[in-house]
Structure 1
């Protein structure tokens, strides 16, 4: 009679054989090559959860495939390693779409009601308010308001000399405050500290809400914070606070009203707009500031550029026009791009709406998920040359394009996505980042409290463009002088063009 151990072993073998056969059977031979793993359906999940972004880089290097299929429970996941294949997939706007992800975010993370969702599903990618974030008077107004917020805050900090801060928490607050004030105007609900606190509590649970696995347990604080913010935004819109807000907010409210969304659903949708404005910007600006302050060479180059923007009156008063960063600080601009490349971890995702053949070679089956990890493209030596693993703050200077070690296709830079889902807020986010850094360099000497710059460990969270710092970095902000500063942002009617689509090189 077989022993219990033998029966158990036989059961394991049978289960393994069944799962492996199932993984093979469920595949269409025209689909990209399958990655089944040691334990079918389970090994890929473990790799994604444990290794995070590094998992896709490891598979790219070991498989050397332009695209492959991760066999996991549920729909297949198609991971794309090839830049040229990504560009071809981007052309399938309707069949390989971002819209279903937006729909899920509205329903699961933002909590839009059943009636509102029925309307949203008919129009998931509205372009009615895109002009407000594109180069022009609307963008200039946003930039000017954000810069004004930075200037006032820096004046206050300078009066408290010297001041010690947690670098990430400080940057996160400054970016959040400036973005919300620029967007929502004098009736900005987030001027109340309790609402800002609610936002960061909500932000921590966005991924749990999207996954929709017992959100009442795993995202309880986020759901409570969401309810609070929806009440505040409902009051904001019912009280016509948006009429004194930015053009962006006015056009969004006008679009939602014309589309039939009530005030409560509009308030829910607005939570998603807040996320779009701050979730990725704050951690990315942290790495920009850290990279510049921690590297003496980068610091010297960037501070020298910013110094050229400062005009000093006869009485010693300083004036700086931060609109000039766009044209007068190419090294600062290149450093920003390199931070997005070197530290970036975002993953562009799409849902396959219909069976789609890509490049006449690869079948993407309806219901499948397409994932295009930026880190895979940004760390590809065949695209970026032998220095791909090094941080080079001058990599994106025009002069570097002639150097074989730094030459790359324009489309290889995916800091703001690509194609029809290119980030509409890229010009505003870039301006905020560069303006903030320029003011830090112009106005303060910054020293780590510990006496040395030590790179913090990274939390490679799935829903961010850059990692979150896992360890605190405390710094001392010491004003460089006691003079009065006048910080302005003149009209430019122009954006910060760093992606291929804006440069006409896509």
Structure 2
């Protein structure tokens, strides 16, 4: 690239060494640069860029500080429960109609995730309940690349600025009205970190929540769409997943009941399909900034000021990590019985859907609960049948802030209710164990087992 060197990591064997160098091989520097995109003050920008190699700095410490609120435990259970309740309430009227409903599959799934996800995160005073604010967010999201790349974006793209400021005003009112007090543990912890530990004011905290909306909505909807796509487009996958879901349902005279928290244990095919979707569809580039020279054990010197990429597409298709069939979607890949050595045949380090190391995505547990819940509710309550007028083609496009591509043109489908007279109750009782997605989760589970 002009005026900048870029290193691309193509070997999984290099990843553990790089992750140990998190101070110099920095994601925090990239996260801090988002401050101007959401319009934060110069004072806040200075705080976010201060001491980027210190674990006590704003940009390094806040994901760690908030992580307990979205790790397995009481706060995550409450947030997941609110998501499931809101999602179920949205689907009930569609099922109760008893007749097929034609919808755009991606548009419908995004709307479901948007309403349920924002309600679960921001609580009773959720600003995105206002459809005008939700629409403004989508407009701003589409303009993200322009804000990131063009120095005069505020002048060149007034539509995006207007949308951002509409969302910012709603978030400022939310913070002034102390909406965070009845929000998820994640929002409460973010407020505590930004306000009490680093002294950010109301406006900067509110604008920070605009940036956090990317994490709440940006990637869950595209991933949810791909999970549903792979479930309903393959008769074998659909049959196997629906069979194990039905086996997890408790039915009595009052109706059908399913505890979503039980799916991780009782539905290994669904869980494996979800994990394989992440592997097969993720396109996140894994960017880092080199803050000081780093010498690797293989003799390579990473020069200060350079960019470094750990692209998921490279590592998710590496045949040395996944086997010769790495280029094929295998919905059972993650559910196979471990070998005699106690490990699956694939290299967990090469699974990059949630990043890894010091910048492993703390929201992976919540996103997993949400997407598993959506898949269960859709598959149990509806048949999803392609509309013949849509045509067979599927063109994809990517956004720089999204980890998965999205359809260039939505696919029209019919939602056909299954047993519309049945009464369904969906709950989330709670889970004290993480889904074993990444090598870090596996190591944490092993450490817990040794301690017990």
Q: Tell whether the 8 Å contact from 2:124 to 2:183 is kept in structure 1 after alignment.
A: yes
Q: Post-superposition shift, 1:191?
A: 0.5
Residue of structure 1 equivalent to 2:422: 483
Residue of structure 1 equivalent to 2:66: 129
The answer to whether structure 1 residue 101 and structure 2 residue 30 are counterparts is: yes
2:416, 2:214 → 1: CA distance? 32
Residue of structure 2 equivalent to 1:314: 253
Q: Tell whether the 8 Å contact from 1:394 to 1:400 is kept in structure 2 after alignment.
A: no
Q: Tell whether the 8 Å contact from 2:147 to 2:154 is kept in structure 1 after alignment.
A: no
2:332, 2:393 → 1: CA distance? 21
Residue of structure 2 equivalent to 1:379: 317
SS of 2:72's equivalent in the other structure is: coil
SS of 1:441's equivalent in the other structure is: helix
Pair 348,503 (structure 1): closer, same or farther in 2 beyond 3 Å: same
Gapped regions of structure 2 (runs ≥ 5): 51-57, 447-452
The answer to whether structure 1 residue 301 and structure 2 residue 240 are counterparts is: yes
Q: Tell whether the 8 Å contact from 2:103 to 2:413 is kept in structure 1 after alignment.
A: yes
Pair 402,479 (structure 1): closer, same or farther in 2 beyond 3 Å: farther
Residue of structure 1 equivalent to 2:354: 416
Gapped regions of structure 1 (runs ≥ 5): 1-71
String of CA shifts for 1:66-104, please: whole Å, max 9, x gaps: xxxxxx202101111011112211111111111110111
Tell me which moved more, 264-273 or 492-501: 492-501
Pair 305,257 (structure 1): closer, same or farther in 2 beyond 3 Å: same
Q: Post-superposition shift, 1:223?
A: 1.7
2:336, 2:329 → 1: CA distance? 17
Q: Tell whether the 8 Å contact from 2:25 to 2:290 is kept in structure 1 after alignment.
A: yes
Q: Tell whether the 8 Å contact from 1:355 to 1:365 is kept in structure 2 after alignment.
A: yes
1:371, 1:494 → 2: CA distance? 31
1:383, 1:453 → 2: CA distance? 36
Q: Tell whether the 8 Å contact from 1:95 to 1:354 is kept in structure 2 after alignment.
A: yes
Residue of structure 1 equivalent to 2:114: 176
Pair 415,401 (structure 1): closer, same or farther in 2 beyond 3 Å: farther
The answer to whether structure 1 residue 215 and structure 2 residue 143 are counterparts is: no
1:37-436 matches, cutoff 5 A = 72-107=1-36, 109-122=37-50, 123-125=58-60, 126=62, 127-160=64-97, 161-216=99-154, 219-258=157-196, 259-315=198-254, 317-399=255-337, 407-436=345-374
String of CA shifts for 1:337-383, please: whole Å, max 9, x gaps: 11011111111011010111112411111100001110001111121
Tell me which moved more, 179-188 or 86-95: 86-95
String of CA shifts for 1:31-71, please: whole Å, max 9, x gaps: xxxxxxxxxxxxxxxxxxxxxxxxxxxxxxxxxxxxxxxxx
Between Structure 1 and Structure 2, whose CA radius of gyration is higher? 1
Give the count of matched residue pairs: 431
Residue of structure 2 equivalent to 1:504: 443
Task: Give me the TM-score of the superposition, normalised by structure 1.
Answer: 0.82
1:3-14 matches, cutoff 5 A = none
SS of 1:124's equivalent in the other structure is: helix
Q: Tell whether the 8 Å contact from 1:378 to 1:413 is kept in structure 2 after alignment.
A: yes
String of CA shifts for 1:127-185, please: whole Å, max 9, x gaps: 22211011110100111000011110110211333211110011111111111000111
Supply the RMSD in Å over aligned alpha carbons.
1.8
Residue of structure 1 equivalent to 2:449: none
Residue of structure 1 equivalent to 2:53: none
SS of 1:345's equivalent in the other structure is: coil
Q: Tell whether the 8 Å contact from 1:237 to 1:263 is kept in structure 2 after alignment.
A: yes
SS of 1:445's equivalent in the other structure is: strand
Q: Post-superposition shift, 1:212?
A: 2.8
Tell me which moved more, 217-226 or 438-447: 217-226
Q: Tell whether the 8 Å contact from 2:390 to 2:412 is kept in structure 1 after alignment.
A: no
Task: Give me the TM-score of the superposition, normalised by structure 2.
Answer: 0.92
String of CA shifts for 1:259-303, please: whole Å, max 9, x gaps: 110000001111111111110111011011001100111111111
Match of 2:383 among 431, 436, 445: 445
2:77, 2:157 → 1: CA distance? 37
SS of 2:250's equivalent in the other structure is: strand
